[in-house]
Amino acid sequence: KAGVTQTPRYLIKTRGQQVTLSCSPISGHRSVSWYQQTPGQGLQFLFEYFSETQRNKGNFPGRFSGRQFSNSRSEMNVSTLELGDSALYLCASSFQVLNTGELFFGEGSRLTVL
Amino acid sequence: TQLLEQSPQFLSIQEGENLTVYCNSSSVFSSLQWYRQEPGEGPVLLVTVVTGGEVKKLKRLTFQFGDARKDSSLHITAAQPGDTGLYLCAGALYNNNDMRFGAGTRLTVKP
């Protein structure tokens, strides 16, 4: 079956702009979680959505937001971009809620903020 | 500081050598997972351990969950260049809805 698909794969933005990233989970998976990966901090949990509801949110400012649609596809948005937001953004899908099952990751969206 | 501390951060060894990677925490986890990530790709699950003291083997890889469910180790026997990658441990906390990741161990196996 098709894996987790993230778009776009690469993007370059400037400070102050906003960005929207998309994640299509594996068919049948209802949980989508988002992570920020940087060389210094590793993988940091952003938030998880399950059946269109946000179950938990990591320690990130309100500029980071997300949503999930009825078909389980998810988007995350970052407003007023800062240089420090440059990172690889990964989403993962799971059949069960986040902390009970295997996570299947997409290849990520690499964001560069200039 | 990371909730899950992985050591070493970097490891460069020759093909055929053995190695152990550690994942430690002061917190108790309901389960712990190990992932491997290769450049340009997302992490891929290697194993999930759920019982304190549990040992799982996956070909040349041996995973152990500590008795107190606070730590884990990954041992690779006779490493091969194909084992090169970033190894991440991830833990599910009790009474919490998220998954916490360690910063990872970057392994390079030279032919």
CA closest to A5 among chain B residues? B42
List pLDDT tens digits, range A58-91: 889 999 999 999 999 999 999 999 999 999 999 9
Q: Which of A39-53, B37-51, B69-83 is predicted most confidently?
A: B69-83
Residue B97 is nearest to which of A41, A48, A103, comparing CB atoms? Answer: A48
CA distance B95 to B28: 11
> Mean of the pLDDT values across residues B38-66?
94
Cβ distance of B104 and A43 shorter than 8 Å: yes
User: Is A43 an 8 Å CB contact of chain B?
Assistant: yes
Half-sphere exposure at residue A6, Cβ-oriented, CA atoms within 13 angstroms: 27
Half-sphere exposure at residue B42, Cβ-oriented, CA atoms within 13 angstroms: 22
| Per-chain mean pLDDT for chain B | 93
Going by C-beta distance under 8 Å and a sequence separation of 6 or more, which residues neighbour residue A105? A4, A90, A91, A92, B35, B42, B43, B44
Enumerate residue ranges in chain A where pLDDT < 50: none
* Residue B98 confidence (pLDDT): 72
* Residue A34 confidence (pLDDT): 96
**Band of residue B34 on the pLDDT scale cut at 50, 70, 90:** very high
> Mean of the pLDDT values across residues B1-16?
91
Half-sphere exposure at residue B108, Cβ-oriented, CA atoms within 13 angstroms: 6
Interface test with A, best of B7, B97, B100, B101 (most A CBs within 10 A): B97
Res B33 pLDDT > 80: yes
Res B1 pLDDT > 70: no
Could you give phi then psi for residue A20, rounded to 5 degrees?
Answer: -125, 130
Residue B43 is nearest to which of A44, A55, A105, comparing CB atoms? Answer: A105
* Residue B94 confidence (pLDDT): 74
Residue B98 is nearest to which of A42, A45, A104, comparing CB atoms? Answer: A45
> Mean of the pLDDT values across residues B15-22?
97
**Band of residue B99 on the pLDDT scale cut at 50, 70, 90:** confident
Q: Which residues does chain B have within 8 Å of residue A41's beta carbon, measured at their own beta carbons? A: 103
| Per-chain mean pLDDT for chain A | 92
Closest CA to A77 of A100, A109, A29, A39: A109
* Residue A52 confidence (pLDDT): 93
Cβ distance of A56 and B96 shorter than 8 Å: yes
